[in-house]
Amino acid sequence: MDVGGGRHPEATMTVTKHRTCANCGSRAIPVVYGMQSYDGFQRAERGEIEFGDCVIIEGESPAWKCTNVECGLEFGQLSYP
């Protein structure tokens, strides 16, 4: 699934439908990297995804972000196909 809607490889990652934050138990959403499309912006406005940066730093760029504003934990590692 192309969660960013972009055409750049950095904007594409495979994710499950949802994750749970290990810190607080709230729902977590995928962090999407790269150039975003109109669809990506709509999904971000609905709280389905979080935008990362344009560059993925292996070992540092998180794959998920907790939706609980008091927690906000960013976690997980991106895996390249």
53-64 per-position pLDDT tens digit: 888 888 889 999
Q: How many Å apart are CA 25 and CA 42, to the nearest integer?
A: 25
- Residue 3 forms part of a structural domain: no
The whole model's pTM is what? 0.72
Cβ atoms of residues 54 and 40 within 8 Å: no
What residues make up the domain containing 37? Answer: 9-75
- Beta strand pairing call for 27-32 and 50-51: parallel
As for how many domains the chain has, the answer is: 1
Residue 13 is assigned to a structural domain of this protein: yes
Residue 1 covered by a domain: no
Is residue 5 a contact partner of residue 47, using CB atoms and an 8 Å limit? no
pLDDT at residue 75 greater than cutoff 90: yes
